[in-house]
């Protein structure tokens, strides 16, 4: 399970890795809102998360994988789990 601050930390980590300031998100978010997200004071909607990821030029699933997986090994394990779960759900829906 993810730590409480995982999404907040992942968001800040990716933003900084991309060399973006909080002001770079001004078309989709205020600086104060982004700061609140990065300090885990607020949680974004899926639509807002997609907008933020668009600014950072990453897929929202990448950000979520970093939030839940943590390091590279954790992300690999998470991606494999998601693949298995999707396959199971697909198999179940095909038999209905």
CATH class entry, domain 6-68: mainly alpha
Q: What is the pLDDT of residues 40-79, one digit of tens each?
A: 999 999 999 999 999 999 999 999 999 999 888 999 999 9
Give the mean pLDDT of 9-29.
Answer: 97
Parse the chain into domains and list their residue ranges: 6-68
Q: How far apart are CA 95 and CA 66, in angstroms?
A: 33
Indicate the pLDDT class of residue 94, thresholds 50, 70 and 90. confident
Q: Say if residue 3's pLDDT is above 60.
A: no
What is the average per-residue pLDDT within 22-34? Answer: 97
Residues 6+ positions from 13 with CB-CB distance below 8 Å: 66
């Amino acid at each position: 399970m993810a730590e409480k601050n995982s999404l907040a930390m992942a968001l800040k980590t990716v933003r900084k890795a991309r060399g973006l300031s909080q002001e770079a998100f001004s078309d989709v978010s205020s600086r104060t809102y982004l700061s609140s997200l990065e300090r885990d004071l607020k949680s974004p909607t899926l639509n807002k998360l997609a907008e933020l990821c668009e600014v950072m030029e990453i897929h929202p699933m990448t950000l979520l994988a970093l939030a839940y997986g943590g390091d590279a090994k954790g992300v690999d394990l998470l991606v494999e789990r998601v693949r298995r779960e999707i396959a199971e759900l697909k198999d179940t829906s095909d038999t209905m």
